[in-house]
Amino acid sequence: KHRKGDGMNAKLNERQLTLIILNLLVVKMIFIFTRYLFKTSGNAAWIEAVYITVIAFFLLEISFCFYRYTGCRSIIQISESVGGMPLKIITALLVFVVFFVNVGTEMRTFAESVKIILLPNAKIEYIMILFAIAVGIGCYCGINAIATINTLYFPLCLFFLGTLGIMLVKDYNINNI
C-alpha cells in the first residue's frame, strides 16, 4: 500500500531535486563520460569536453524555449493536438522504443563500468540482475524515498570524492593538457 504523495503526484522540495540532478550528473561523469572521452579523444579530451558542454547548453536552452512555447506540454500531448489520437499513439510507441533501447544499452554500460571499477571477478549478468532489482525497489518505494536517501548520502559521497581528488593531487600530470 502506497502512502499519500508517492508516485506521479509526489512533491519534492528544491534541495531534494537539485541533489538528485547533481547525483545523476556526477555518476554520468565518473562512470560513462570519462571513458567515452578517452576512447574518442585521447589527450585532447578536455577540448571535446568543452565542445560537448557548449552544445549541451545550447540544446538545453532550445528545449526549454520550446517547452515554454508549447505551454509546458509533453511531446505526446503536442502530437495529439497536431494529429489526433493516431499520431499520439505513434509518438508514444516511438518514445517507448527509444526509451527501451536506451535503457538496455545504458544498463549494459553501467554494468560494465561497475564490473571494471568495483567488481572485476563478478559476472556481468549478476550485476545487471542486481541493478534491475535495485531499480525495481526504487520504483516501488517512490521518488520521495529516493530523494530522502539521496539527500542524506550525496553530501557524504561528495566529501569522500573530494578527499580522493585531493589525495591524488600528487599524481596529476599537467603536461598532458
List, run by run, the mean pLDDT of 10-residue segments along the chain (177 residues).
51 82 80 74 78 86 82 82 90 92 83 84 90 88 88 89 86 70
Query: Which pLDDT score, from 0 to 100, does residue 98 have?
Result: 92
pTM reported for the whole predicted model: 0.55
Cα diameter, the chain? 62
Q: Are 142 and 10 in contact (CB under 8 A)?
A: yes
Query: Which pLDDT score, from 0 to 100, does residue 31 have?
Result: 67
Query: Which pLDDT score, from 0 to 100, does residue 3 have?
Result: 52
The set of cell numbers assigned to 60 is 538545453
| C-alpha–C-alpha distance, residues 163 and 157, integer Å | 10
DSSP code of 7?
A: G
Query: Which pLDDT score, from 0 to 100, does residue 5 have?
Result: 45
The set of cell numbers assigned to 164 is 580522493
Q: Which candidate, 95, 56, 55, places its Cα nearest to that of 77?
A: 95
Query: Which pLDDT score, from 0 to 100, does residue 9 have?
Result: 55
**Entry field: residues in the chain:** 177
Q: Are 117 and 30 in contact (CB under 8 A)?
A: no
